[in-house]
Amino acid sequence: MAIIVNLLVIFSATILIMGNSSSAQLSTHYYKKTCPNVFNVVKSIVRSTVAKEKRMGASLLRLHFHDCFVQGCDGSILLDDTSSFIGEKTAGPNNNSVRGYEVIDAIKSKVESVCPGVVSCADIVAIAARNSIFLLGGPKWKVKVGRRDSRTANLSAANSGQLPPGNSALDNLIKRFSSQRSLHQGHGCLIRNTHHRTSKVYNF
């Protein structure tokens, strides 16, 4: 039960960030004609993954909000180093902390076999995060999709101190999420109302 409560703390602060990335273009029906089975493909792999290791469900949510904190929800956290830039994976808040890359890779591979060149990695991360929460007993919401993947990463932004470390106290989490313009007052209140039940989010 404790892990669900803590997941809901993060979820409540993340939900608007997820919806506001290029919000003018996002739609729950974005892939209706081009890749109608994408949600089922993601759900199937996430379900089997979480069944083997429940902690991975929390990790997939964390992967999502770590992506959204830097340049928006654009999948930039997934990029490896290239000759022109250093990826965000080695940033202090991400290195040896953020997990689930291999799960996203597996989902992307399966999706590509069904709908090549259609679904963005950023959307896969968002859908996987939603499915993870639901499978762990949390709420379910409709994911708006249509995000575009970034071609570059921003290591300096990932290291700028905006991202909360995994052992952050709840007050620190509220401050960090509140600094994001996508976080509305109602979500901050929801986090504060959870304070009496948990003082720290587990390091997942």
Q: Of 104, 121, 94, 111, whose CA–CA distance to 49 is shortest?
A: 104
Active site residue 66: yes
Task: Out of 29, 66, 187, 196, pick the active-site residue.
Answer: 66
Residue 102 in marked binding region: no
The separation between CA 200 and the C-alpha centre of its own chain, rounded to angstroms, equals 19
Residue 160 in marked binding region: no
C-beta separation of 94 from 88 below 8 A:
yes
C-beta separation of 111 from 103 below 8 A:
no
Residue 164 in marked binding region: yes
Residue 74 in marked binding region: yes
* Alpha carbon distance 28, 38 (integer Å): 12
Q: Which residues make Cβ contacts (< 8 Å) with residue 12, sequence separation at least 6?
A: 187, 190, 191, 194
Residue 120 in marked binding region: no
Sort 113 into a burial class: Cβ within 10 Å, 0-12 / 13-18 / 19+. Answer: exposed
Residue 72 in marked binding region: yes
Residue 112 in marked binding region: no
* Residues known to be catalytic: 66
> What residues are designated binding site for Ca(2+)?
67, 70, 72, 74, 76, 88
> What residues are designated binding site for substrate?
164
> What residues are designated binding site?
67, 70, 72, 74, 76, 88, 164
